[in-house]
Structure 1
Amino acid sequence: MSNLFPTYARWNIEPDTAIGMKIISTAGKEYLDFTSGIGVLNLGHGHESVKMAVMEQLNKYWHVSNMFHSSIQERTAKMLSDASGLGSVFFANSGAEANEAAIKLARKATGKSKIVTCQQSFHGRTFATMAATGQEKIKTGFGPMLECFKYVPFNDNDAMIAAIDGDTAAVMIEIVQGEGGIHVINQTYLDTIQLHCQKHGALLIIDEIQTGIGRTGKPFAFQHYNVQPDIITSAKGLGNGLPIGAMIGREKLAEHFNPGSHGSTFGGNPVSVSAAEAVLKGIFKQGFLKETVHKAEYLKSALANALKDAAEVKEIRGLGMMIGIECEQDVQEFLAELQEEGLLVLSAGPKVLRLLPSLTVTETEIDIAVKKIEKVLAIKQTV
């Protein structure tokens, strides 16, 4: 009997140790981890520079509250601001908290309440971010949602134009719908959103919780496109496993988050921020990002070649190290069979296998993973 609420459909695996791309279970089985903690461990398990930064901060202090000045918060905020082209940062504890802050700021800054999001989006599980999410399964059983959200189909220009009006505070969008099936936004859709946000005095919020911090080969995924958001949100890869989120906004928005308007007891915790600073120092180097792009192209090409004759595979899509393999059937059986083969991957909806390897993955590890995926899907092909 467990004393934990059964909120997670847990795998029959308990990690004992983890390093780099590998997890060793308490049963002694070794797994190649292409989940990276659901897109969190962009530098892999047990990365030395992150570990050293955390240990150094632990030996100084690990909490004093946000009543005190913090040089480490200032340094890390500057790195995020410089990389994003935005001016002000609020540190939270998670992606949902970062999105919650973005929703609050957009409503306060514009004096309006309606926020447009997309069907099949995912923005979190707090009450506001659950309401922002365009998936009914996330909301089932929780009663009436906040009424200020409107949902439109992803990449549907006409629907988006019809949704944005003078009552719209913001549009909140993902560059790649992670939980929604690894669907990538197109430039025309982003152009439409930006144009009509400007026309109606609405803010553009880009949820970079899963796509940010180098995951797509850029500091943030919106930088693959000709667009400049008002607010972006970050978490997951930001702390490489330490709990942290960040809302990053245009400098002019700072006046709307004055003292007392928002806050978090643990937001900007010095241990988590020390991890984030180490992560950004490593990932935001041009050489690192260039190598990430190369390995992402290598992975996608290897998958396309290995699965070109697999009748089970409908499409391989994604951006950078965020790849989905859409299948003809439910993928839960595939997940289990890949685990038997020693490879951990995720799902993104019922029929999509989701690959989120650490950005430090090697070509050799990619080759091993692709062979395992080919083996499992090829078996299904002949059944």
Structure 2
Amino acid sequence: GDNDTFPLWYNQEVEEYRTDVRVCNLSYLQTDWYIDQMRRPYYQSSALPISWQPNQYQAGTNEIAWIRDKVPSMTIDKAFSRMLDKTDKRQQEAGEDFWNREDVTSEILTKTLTQPIVVEEVINSPAFRQGDTCRFGEKQIAEQIVIPLRNRLTRSEMMILEMIRSNHWQRPMYFAVTVGTDYYLGLDKYFELTGLAYQITPVDHGTADAVNTIDMYDNLMNKFHFGGIENPDIYLDENVMRMCHTHRLMFARLAEALLNEADSVRATQVLDYCVEHIPAYNIPHDYSSLLIAQCYYELGKQQQASEILTDIATYSEQYINYYQSLDKMRRSSVEGHFGQALAILGNVLQIAYRAKDDDLVNRYQDLYLTYAARR
């Protein structure tokens, strides 16, 4: 969305930072004029790998492809070649009456698209270079990417698949973590979290939780810069606050992944750095901090964990008391927020109970049970 895209454009346009990277707004990618832009070089960035011709994505053409379950699977290349050949044929037959034609729908005859993976392309790709070698072994690389489809593909989604088809792993491709999961197209099991972005990899992780701890640690601890949010007098609007919570959650995801690798030293560094640079007095703890507390418990740092959970539980307690102070009509308007506060309090108690933090459990358990029993 705009709140994610415009700061990146500012960095490139004004600060002249990483002008070799192409930022692509997926909402705009539904339009023909924006696809035109993406197909052209810009600053130090090469054109995006989109081979479709303008007549194949102009307004009113291939805006939606309906999915028909006729064959078990089909490669992206075959599906798009068939669809675009039909587009060209329709346009040739329509001639000057092209805009008056009745049939402008497109279709793909399978609910499963695939993209074969050429191992040599991956091994030789700069996108996965770690030192002088590829960070993936040949046995890790999947034979193909499998993309399950729903009832339709939008033009924006088709452009994403087209870039995957045409890129041949030469350039790294990422989704921002703030992108809606609908845009992932079922690719998330090939994702690796690297910071505030997921990189598409040729490895089927079987889960959406894979973390590239080497790159992510370097990004969060060395390359990300924080400034201003430590000032207690600064105003943080809801958009900035939301991004701060997103950053905090990414630190937690990294710490969790490091703990899974038995790297308690760096996990502690990540958590302490997060607490210092995203201070709770300006950015209050919410559900995004639950994982931070859980990781602190696993590291044996009960005081830090308990302080975070107490902050979260206190807010839930205050909201529950506020809810109880309202009359019946006003309660109905905040019922959803009340349910959320109660659920978060339940999560706090669950984490504290597993960590044997009896003081915290005893403090909030009765409050939770009282209202949970009424729902």
TM range (shorter): under 0.3
Which structure's residues are more often strand, by fraction?
Answer: 1
Q: TM-score, with normalisation over the residues of structure 1?
A: 0.23
Higher RCO (Cα < 8 Å, 6 or more apart):
1
Larger CA Rg, structure 1 vs 2: 2
Which structure's residues are more often helix, by fraction?
Answer: 2
Q: TM-score, with normalisation over the residues of structure 2?
A: 0.24
